[in-house]
Amino acid sequence: MSKVSNKGVYKFWAALRTLANSRSWKRNLDSDGEIRLYDKDGNEYCPLTAVYKKLNNEYVDMGQTNIVRDALKMESVYESRIVGAADDCDSHNKTQQRLRNKMIKVLKLKKKNEQFLKNEKESEETGW
């Protein structure tokens, strides 16, 4: 792991902690179990694009995480892990699940909500 990518990852976590303590940002697990943040204007962000907004005060669409990766000087593998962890509550990848759990903890989200959403998805799939 290069020092450049390490700095980008550390910067990401530091900014995410700041967002978690900010009253002007709403954060939640949406109905699909995705981790989402909302600024005071109501714009929706994934954790990576929210960090970019916090650091540069510019809106970046959730599909443009490569801009954030370049700004943070982060390797693409970390970018894809962060985005994947934020979007996939059903992941069987242990690294991604640990990353997701850390994001939920840092953002002070309720783990109960995630379990409820998983159960709801399973009941929809089975028809119960």
Instruction: Tell whether 38 is covered by a domain.
Output: yes
Q: Print the domain residue range for 101.
A: 3-121
Question: Is 94 within 8 Å of 78 (Cβ atoms)?
Answer: no
pTM of the model: 0.79
> Does residue 126 form part of some domain?
no
Residue 127 lies in a domain: no
Asked if residue 97 belongs to a domain, the reply is yes
Structural domain total, the chain: 1
Would residue 128 count as lying in a domain? no
Classify residue 103: in a domain, yes or no: yes
Which mean pLDDT values do the consecutive 10-residue runs of the chain (128 residues) have?
66 93 90 89 93 93 92 90 86 85 90 57 60
Q: Distances from the Cα of 119 to the Cαs of 96, 122, 125, 126, in angstroms?
A: 20, 5, 10, 11
Q: How far apart are CA 121 and CA 128, in angstroms?
A: 10
